[in-house]
Amino acid sequence: MSVGLIILITIASAIGALILFMIIRTVLTKPVKVEKRSFEPVPVDKDRVAQKLSDAVRIPTLTVLDDTMSYDEFPKYHAFLEKAFPLLHKAAEKTLINNYSLVYKIEGSDASLLPGCFLAHQDVVPAPAEGWEVPPFSGEIKDGYVYGRGSQDMKGQMIALLEGIEILLEQGFKPARTIYCCFGHDEEFTGKEGAKNIAKYLQENNIRFEYVIDEGGTVLDGSIIGVDGMLALIGTCEKGYLDIELKAKKNGGHSSSPYKRNAVDLMAEAVYYVAMTPMKSSWSLPVKQMFKAIAPNMKPLMKFIFVNRDILSPLLKFVLAIANPITNSLIRTTFAATQAKGAGAPNVLPPKASATINCRINVNENSDMVIKHVKEVVGKNIEVNVLPGMAEPTPVSDITSAAYSVLTTTINEVFENFLPAPYPFIAATDAKYYYGVCNNVYRFTPFLVSEDDRTRIHAINERTDIDGLVKATQFFARFIENSCK
């Protein structure tokens, strides 16, 4: 037998052994059985909670972006909350932070327990009336939905939380664990005036939490990644945020006699190079944890691939990168060109041009790495500036904590056949400011949202399903029962 044949047989045997190992590994990975836990949900008056959300939407608490806007609607919203949730306001100590952010504290009976904390934000993004089926701040109730800006993001979650607490108080519930509700007023504009100051107040008063729950996790149909049933994704961290301004300078002039590569050309090239030169993909801790949690319940081929992620890593990362924008964003820092500026008139060659690149920083990277990458890509002729509002990726919260266990248990009680799994939240929330007062910071939105309704967030015809609002109310009430009794 020739040496070459021996080598060939050896290689084939090794490959065969590896494939056999991968098959056995897949077979031995048993599906996670999602058991429906029985419990008695609190009775929710469907019409009452829908009307409360409708009334909340009617108060246009727009994020104040500049001096042309006003905070006048926020005191009106506070007055609405007092009227809508009288027992909560009777039981809670209310503190106003930086004039418009709210902190409610319901004292628990056991001082040895760290408090629990629930976040929401009062502000909403602007909503031009064009294209809406109903006026964006009408709060109209029709076809089983509450329509209007903020109905999803995120007054729906706030109303569900407060209604859940109100119902528990109506039943005479007295928490053992102290409960905090912290509601910022500028989450849609970085949270630096609201949540950041709330966190500062908490730190100054030596207040620490057992857990913090904010918006951000999502409920989705698992079939899109080969899982039977629904996935309840819990954000255990969030990606960083960075806005970079690119500037190009070149002699200006009249557009009737253009020269090659003016400032706009240089800027267009720079934006293109950034878009076409992504940073390397990588497996961050929360992504590894997510795939470990859901791989056992995937269909056979997908299960084989994800159970053997470590072996098939290059192929899998390639597939995730091209599959869709969401899976791509899970494994790398993303760059999105969002603004551009050149001349003030169409017949002028501008002496300078600029563009803004919005960067969402992967959990295992940082802003310095991103800035260095961009500078290398665009070259020395492009000026690179960092705009205000930067936030590094947050720490990753523990999925073995008692708080995470209570969260997943509550999901299994309230929702049928939902598989909980951790994941890195790809956007930004107020929760990022709370790591100084809590180690267990989680993001979960207990609403089953259709793909159609998902596209309405920050867009026209935003709405919330009333049945989903009822379910979310029961979720918060049950989570409080489970974690604060």
Known catalytic residues? 123, 187
CB atoms near residue 161 (< 10 Å): 25
* DSSP H/E element including 429: none
SS3 per-residue string spanning 34-78: CCCCCCCCCCCCHHHHHHHHHHHHCCCCECCCCCCCCCCHHHHHH
Q: CA-CA distance, 395 to 418, in Å (whole number)?
A: 26
Strand pairing partners for 103? 95, 182
Separation CA 61–CA 132 (nearest Å): 18
Answer for the pair 331, 362: CB distance below 8 angstroms, yes or no: yes
Question: How far is the C-alpha of 378 from the C-alpha of 245, rounded, in Å?
Answer: 12
Dist. CA 57–CA 75, nearest whole Å: 14
Quote the DSSP letter at residue 317. Answer: H
| Phi, psi (degrees; rounded to nearest 5) at 409 | -60, -45
Distance CA 392, CA 424 (A): 14
Nearest to 359 by CA among 241, 189, 190: 241
What does the block give as tokens for 194? 């609201």
Angle ∠(341,69,61) on CA atoms, nearest 5? 115
Q: What DSSP assignment string belongs to 325-394? A: HHHHHHHS-EEEEEEEE--SSTTEE-SEEEEEEEEEE-TT--HHHHHHHHHHHH-TTSEEEEPS--BPPP
Backbone φ, ψ for residue 191 (5° rounding): 75, 10
Burial class of residue 246 (count of CB atoms within 10 Å of its CB; 0-12, 13-18, 19+): buried
Alpha helices, H only, 241-348: 263-276, 285-294, 300-307, 313-323, 325-331
Distance of CA 220 to the CA centre of its chain: 13
- Whole-number Å distance between alpha carbons of 273 and 471: 46
Cα separation, 42 vs 152, in Å, equals 22
Interatomic CA distance for residues 302 and 319, integer angstroms? 12
